[in-house]
Amino acid sequence: GAGVSQSPSNKVTEKGKDVELRCDPISGHTALYWYRQSLGQGLEFLIYFQGNSAPDKSGLPSDRFSAERTGGSVSTLTIQRTQQEDSAVYLCASSFIPSGPLGETQYFGPGTRLLVL
């Protein structure tokens, strides 16, 4: 597709279960980002991937959160032993290159709405 896609669009899970969220970036975009948006809040940076470089994980809130990017394209965000405070919208974004006037412009997917009961 032309834009960033994410799946599932909605996920309801029980406390303590693991969840996986998927992101397909725009074709040709080398940089991929994950953000979390809690109700009524701005976006919180989680993790950043660029090519084969080591990801910037500085925004991950705990060791229950991890992410992978396979083949420089699709990414999966995994939350283990989910807690109720993990309930949020998880947004993925991609950009052509990580820096410079064109690369700093990030394009967002529709998000995955996670509800932990």
Q: Which residues bind other proteins (CB under 8 A)?
A: 4, 6, 31, 33, 35, 40-45, 48, 50, 56, 91, 93, 95, 98-99, 101, 103-111, 113
Asked if 22 and 86 touch (Cβ cutoff 8 Å), the reply is no
Smallest gap from Cβ 108 to other proteins, in A, equals: 4
CB closer to other proteins out of 77 and 111: 111
Do residues 19 and 65 lie in contact, with contact meaning Cβ atoms separated by under 8 Å?
no
Nearer to other proteins, 98 or 116 (CB): 98
Strands 5-7 and 19-24, by their bridges, are antiparallel
Give the shortest CB-43-to-other proteins separation in angstroms: 5
At residue 48, the 3 state secondary structure works out as strand
